[in-house]
A and B are shown apart, each in its own frame.
Chain A
Amino acid sequence: MRTLSAYVLLAIISCVGAASSQEIVLGLSKQEIGITAFFDGSEILIFGALKHQNEASSEGELDVVITIASPRIPVVVRRKEKRLGIWMNVDALEVDLAPNFYAVATSGPFDQVVSKASDLWHQISVQKMIGAVSGPEKLENPEDFTEAIIRIRENEGLYQTLTGAVTLQNQTLFSASVTLPANLVEGSYTARIFLMSDGDVIAQHQTAIDVRKVGIERWLYNLAHQRPAVYGLLSLAIAIFSGWAAAAAFRAVRG
């Protein structure tokens, strides 16, 4: 079924990649993800085809790398140390640009598919995706802090390295499915597809996936941030009403 819908979408969506003898045609199972009240994660299917412009091209074995990234927002990493018998935060590092969510799926082992140079240039691995750090000069090993971001978010399912998750058929059709966890933040996510040959990027394509709160979630979030006083009063009204209702019900039950 999926493959069928892939072909249907392929006919509709066709996009041209970087100037090269290769072209990437891409489809997504969804271009928008709505965070509803009952949101508990989402699965997204990315599929497409490689259009070979001159059949005789001698580019050898091809590989496909797909990444999905949330917007990059600053994050503060704090480190605990034992002081006066208590574990407390002692120093912090602000990492300016770290995606909250990042998945990278490859059709083969990462190190074989992506050369170090391509990784550095295109920021494909999560390590390269995390941007500049700023913090007090005296910090001994700032890399401990960036490693901590990766470790913590990997544990939460927010950073995923999906080796071999991209299937590539006949060097032409590719597909991968990525599971987005429930603890997503809003924003315009970016899906990138890289066509690799001998570790180099020979074509790439990029598209956006919109992740946003919808319905009551959107309404409450906006109210809380745009009109906090109204939101606070609403919270209080609900509380007072429930308190009164509980007391009234209690009296009714007790007679």
Chain B
Amino acid sequence: MGSCRNVVIGLCGHMYIYLPIAEISVNALVLLGLGGLVGVLSGMFGVGGGFLMTPLLFFIGIPPAVAVATEANQIVASSFSGVLAHVKRRNVDFKMGGVLLIGGLVGAGVGVFIFNYLKGLGQVDLLVKLCYVVFLGVVGSLMFTESLQALRKSKQVSASKLRKQRTWIHALPLKIRFRVSGLYISAIPPVLIGLLVGILAAVMGVGGGFVMVPAMIYLLGMPTKVVVGTSLFQIIFVTAFTTMLHATTNYTVDIVLAVLLLVGGVIGAQFGTILGAKLKAEQLRILLAIMVLLVCAKLAFDLIVQPAELFTLGSAGGH
């Protein structure tokens, strides 16, 4: 009876688990494997991995609404796990995190509202996939060209040179002193960055670190050593809030799915960290860039090429 229909990876034992919210039966080994794979990558590259996991969940047939909401919940776990070490090393700017969070919570609310509105119109899958194509495409190409240049020069363009320059950011009102980051800047840019990342978190099921980290370094001029910890700190709260919003308005958080992904992810991250330590930073970044571009290309390909089945079924009354 055990059908191999939905199985992408060639594991077809009798490890099927029925997901109570997604209401489908999936191979638990496949989910553990996916969690592990993304865990390895996140350990290697120091990224949350939501931007890889959510599309992979689409590819194995998890409904996008469930994938996005459940992934938000999983990111709470991986960010919390990550932030503890940074708190210990005092690499978290709580004040900056708080300001980012103000924007983030509003953004998450807006994001879930947009998500639910488009769900009613039947366009939410398209929105999520388009967001992925655009963001993965932009971030992947930037990372790719930047790390190619870095490989050539082998001397990195220092961010500190960039951050001492006075930009339009410094002309804005509402200035606040951020001691840990050593900055005296307006609260407006961090709130706006938080807002954007909150929307992305809610719509795409990501932490948004891949947008926030570059924004914090290049736009706000924060020192690199506090960027990751502060970003993780903010991500915990935004994804937790997103999880609650999805759970209470869409009922799409699948605990069983989240736990399976978590277990795989936690174990994978350990191996990833060890692997990451053996590779050079530029090589790592170029690998990550290639992976991001591959996922982007696959999603774009699926949108452009005529699908085998032009019709899709959905439940009624999802307004």
Residues of A within 8 A of B (CB): 35-41, 43, 73-82, 85-89, 92, 94, 144-145, 148-149, 151-153, 156-157, 179, 181-183, 185, 213, 216-217, 220-221, 224-225, 228-229, 231-236, 238-240, 242-247, 249-250, 253
Contacts and interface: CB of A to CB of B under 8 A. Distances in A.
Given A148-B310, A247-B80, A250-B81, 16 more contacts: A38-B16, A39-B18, A76-B316, A77-B312, A86-B130, A148-B311, A157-B5, A182-B16, A224-B251, A229-B248, A239-B76, A240-B77, A243-B78, A243-B81, A246-B81, A246-B266
Nearest to A217: B20
Interface in B1-40: 1-3, 5, 14, 16-18, 20-21, 23-25
Contacts of B158: none
Interface in B292-319: 303-307, 309-318
Contact of A40 (B14, B78, B81, B240): B14
Contacts of B259: 238, 242
Contact of B317 (A74, A82, A242): A74
A146 B203 CA distance: 31
B84 A247 contact: yes
Contacts of A213: 20
A145 B311 contact: yes
B262 interface: yes
Given A37-B17, A40-B14, A213-B20, A89 B247 contact: no
Nearest to B318: A76
B123 interface: yes
B248 A232 contact: yes
A152 B309 contact: yes
B251 A228 contact: yes
27 contacts: A40-B14, A40-B16, A41-B2, A43-B1, A74-B316, A76-B313, A85-B304, A87-B307, A88-B123, A89-B312, A92-B122, A144-B311, A148-B313, A151-B309, A157-B3, A181-B3, A221-B21, A224-B21, A229-B247, A229-B248, A232-B244, A236-B240, A239-B77, A242-B259, A246-B77, A246-B269, A250-B270
A240 B76 contact: yes
A243 B251 contact: no
B63 to A, nearest CB: 11
B18 A75 contact: no
Q: Which 10 A-B pairs have the closest CB atoms?
A: A243-B80, A232-B247, A182-B25, A148-B311, A74-B316, A243-B81, A239-B77, A40-B16, A239-B76, A243-B77
B110 interface: no
A94 B256 contact: no
A85 B304 CA distance: 6
Interface of B: 1-3, 5, 14, 16-18, 20-21, 23-25, 73-74, 76-82, 84-85, 122-123, 126, 130, 240, 243-244, 247-248, 251, 253, 255-256, 258-259, 262-263, 266, 269-270, 303-307, 309-318
A79 B312 CA distance: 7
A198 B130 CA distance: 56
Given A217-B20, A243-B78, A78 B312 contact: yes
B255 A78 contact: no
Contacts of B21: 220-221, 224
B310 A80 contact: yes
Contacts of B247: 224, 228-229, 231-232, 235
Contacts of A145: 311
Contacts of B84: 243-244, 247
Contacts of A234: 255
Contact of B251 (A40, A225, A244): A225
A205 to B, nearest CB: 27
Contacts of A74: 315-317
Given A40-B1, A183-B24, A239 B262 contact: yes
A63 B314 CA distance: 37
A249 B78 CA distance: 13
B262 A183 contact: no
B262 A242 contact: yes
